[in-house]
Amino acid sequence: MKPVRMSLLCAAAIALALPAFAQSPAKAQEMAIKYRQAAFTLMGAHFGALAAMAKGKVPFDAKVATDNANLAVQLSRLPFSHFIPGSDKGHTAALPKIWTEKDKFEAKAKTMQDAMVKVDEAAKAGNLEAFKSAVGETGKACKSCHDDYRKES
């Protein structure tokens, strides 16, 4: 390849790659906050549908429950890698303790994720008693983490 063409190609490659490298730490932190809030919002919406069924506010329907639980399980796995360093500052209710007690925080996350899998399994099995119990456990796990690691609003 001719040197001129080669350098044009290099320039184009660098230009395309640049946005990823050019992202400032402040921007990355802001994006991390938005990402995890979006994931929690969606998880809350789908878990809310499950909680309504568990409480008998809405009739239990195994198919609807399974659809919601599948999503809730996936969504429950998204937020926690986005508590990146520095993202305790900004538009967030996350308490700084999250970053100084990372292991405890992540253990609580795992408790919630495991409980959510049980909700999904019970929904799939059409087992209403197991479903109610798993939704209860998951709700407790949500609350336990909020009590310790979320600013009161």
Q: Is residue 139 a contact residue for ligand ASC (CB under 6 A)?
A: yes
As beta bridge partners, residue 94 has 150
Q: Would you list the DSSP string of 12-79?
A: HHHHHHHHHHH--HHHHHHHHHHHHHHHHHHHHHHHHHHHHHHTTSS---HHHHHHHHHHHHHHHTSG
| Two tokens, residue 75 | 């969504």
Nearer to ligand ASC, 29 or 66 (CB): 66
Return the SS3 of 88: coil
Q: Is residue 145 a contact residue for ligand ASC (CB under 6 A)?
A: no
Nearer to ligand ASC, 28 or 113 (CB): 113
Q: Minimum CB separation from ligand ASC for residue 102, in Å? A: 21
Q: Is residue 119 a contact residue for ligand ASC (CB under 6 A)?
A: no
Q: Minimum CB separation from ligand ASC for residue 52, in Å? A: 9
Sole binder of ligand ASC in the list 14, 17, 41, 48 (CB under 6 A): 48
Evaluate whether 131 touches 123 at the Cβ level (below 8 Å).
yes
73/71 Cα distance (integer angstroms): 5
Q: Is residue 149 a contact residue for ligand ASC (CB under 6 A)?
A: no
Q: Is residue 44 a contact residue for ligand ASC (CB under 6 A)?
A: yes
65/123 Cα distance (integer angstroms): 6
Sole binder of ligand ASC in the list 89, 102, 143, 151 (CB under 6 A): 143
User: What residues from 51 to 90 belong to the interface with ligand ASC (CB under 6 A)?
Assistant: 51
Q: Is residue 142 a contact residue for ligand ASC (CB under 6 A)?
A: yes
Residues of this chain that bind ligand ASC (CB under 6 A): 44, 47-48, 51, 139, 142-143
